[in-house]
Amino acid sequence: MKINETILNSTKISLELLLQIFPVVALWLGIASIASASGLLEKLANALTKVLGPLFPDIPKGHVSLSYIASNIIANVFGLGSAATPFGLKAMSSLQELNEDKKTASRSMITFTTINTSGVTIIPTTIIALRILYGSKNPTATVLATILATSLSTLSGLFFDYLYRRKHE
Amino acid sequence: MSNYILPLMVLGIVLYGIFKKVDMYDVFIDGSKEGFKMAFTIFPNLLAMIVSVNILIDSGFLEFVINLLLPVLKVPIEVISLAIMRPISGNATLALLNTIYTKYGVDSFYGLLSSTIQGCTDTTFYVIALYYGSIGIKNTRYALKTSLLADFVGITASLMICYFLFS
Specify the DSSP element, H or E, that contains A6.
helix A2-37
- In a domain? residue B118: yes
Domain carrying residue B112: 41-166
Instruction: Give the pLDDT of residue B3.
Output: 64
| pLDDT above 70 for B2 | no
Most B CBs within 10 Å, among A40, A77, A151, A153, to test the B interface: A153
Mean pLDDT for all residues in chain A: 88
Instruction: Give the pLDDT of residue B68.
Output: 86
Q: Are A114 and A161 in contact (CB under 8 A)?
A: yes
Mean pLDDT for all residues in chain B: 89
Nearest to A164 by CA among B32, B140, B50, B117: B140
Determine whether the interchain pair A17/B46 forms a contact, defined as Cβ–Cβ distance below 8 Å. Answer: yes
| pLDDT above 60 for B1 | no
Determine whether the interchain pair A31/B31 forms a contact, defined as Cβ–Cβ distance below 8 Å. Answer: yes
Burial of A60 per CB tally in 10 Å (0-12, 13-18, 19+): exposed
Residue B97 contacts A, CB cutoff 8 Å:
yes
Residue A1 contacts B, CB cutoff 8 Å:
no
- In a domain? residue B18: no
Residue A51 contacts B, CB cutoff 8 Å:
no
- In a domain? residue B144: yes
| pLDDT above 80 for A78 | no
ipTM score assigned to the predicted complex:
0.87
Nearest to A43 by CA among A23, A70, A12: A70
Q: Residue A14 is nearest to which of B31, B50, B127, comparing CB atoms?
A: B50
Query: What distance in Å separates the CA atoms of residue B138 and residue B161, rounded to the nearest whole number?
Result: 37
Q: Which residue has the higher pLDDT, A25 or B88?
A: B88
Q: What is the CA radius of gyration of chain B?
A: 20
- Of the pLDDT bands very low, low, confident and very high (cuts 50, 70, 90), residue A59 is very high
Written as one string, the DSSP assignment of B40-77 is: HHHHHHHHHHHHHHHHHHHTTHHHHHHHHHTTTS-S-H
Instruction: Give the pLDDT of residue B31.
Output: 87
CA atoms within 13 A on the CB side of A9: 9
Q: Are A28 and B52 in contact (CB under 8 A)?
A: no
- In a domain? residue B36: no
Beta bridge partners of B139: A104
Residue B47 contacts A, CB cutoff 8 Å:
yes
- In a domain? residue B74: yes
A58-64: list long-range contacts, CB under 8 Å, 24+ apart: A58/A98, A58/A106, A58/A107, A58/A108, A59/A95, A59/A98, A59/A108, A60/A98, A63/A94, A63/A98, A64/A36, A64/A94
Instruction: Spell out which residues of chain A touch residue B154, defining contact as CB-CB under 8 Å.
Output: 118-119, 149-150, 152-153, 156
Phi, psi (degrees; rounded to nearest 5) at B75:
-125, 160
Number of domains within chain B: 1
Residue B10 contacts A, CB cutoff 8 Å:
yes
Question: Could you say which residues from 21 to 40 on chain B have a Cβ atom under 8 Å away from some Cβ of chain A?
Answer: 22-24, 27-36, 38-39
Instruction: Spell out which residues of chain A touch residue B91, defining contact as CB-CB under 8 Å.
Output: 13
Instruction: Give the pLDDT of residue A10.
Output: 85
Instruction: Spell out which residues of chain A touch residue B138, defining contact as CB-CB under 8 Å.
Output: 103-104
Least confident range of A54-58, A88-92, A144-148, B1-5: B1-5
Average pLDDT for B13-39: 88
| pLDDT above 90 for B155 | yes
Residue B120 contacts A, CB cutoff 8 Å:
yes
| pLDDT above 80 for A55 | yes
Instruction: Give the pLDDT of residue B89.
Output: 86
- In a domain? residue B150: yes
For the segment A66-76, what is each residue's pLDDT rounded down to a tens digit?
989 988 988 88
Sequence-distant (6+) residues with CB within 8 A of A88 are: A68, A72, A112, A116, B127, B131
Domain carrying residue A119: 2-168
For the segment B95-144, what is each residue's pLDDT rounded down to a tens digit?
899 899 999 999 999 999 999 999 898 899 989 999 999 899 999 999 99
- In a domain? residue B91: yes
**Helices B2-19 & A40-52 angle (0-180, nearest 10):** 120
A101 secondary structure, DSSP code? S
- In a domain? residue B28: no
Instruction: Give the pLDDT of residue A106.
Output: 96
Instruction: Give the pLDDT of residue A142.
Output: 92
For the segment A116-142, what is each residue's pLDDT rounded down to a tens digit?
999 888 878 788 888 988 999 998 899
Number of domains within chain A: 1
Q: Are B34 and A92 in contact (CB under 8 A)?
A: no
Written as one string, the DSSP assignment of B135-160 is: TT--B-TTHHHHHHHHHHHHHHHHHH
Instruction: Give the pLDDT of residue B100.
Output: 94
Average pLDDT for A80-89: 82
Most A CBs within 10 Å, among B8, B34, B79, B156, to test the A interface: B34
Instruction: Give the pLDDT of residue A63.
Output: 86
- Of the pLDDT bands very low, low, confident and very high (cuts 50, 70, 90), residue A19 is confident
Which among A124-133, B40-49, B144-153 has the top mean pLDDT? B144-153
Written as one string, the DSSP assignment of B93-120 is: HHHHHHHHHHHH-TTSHHHHHHHHHHHH
Q: Are B17 and A38 in contact (CB under 8 A)?
A: yes
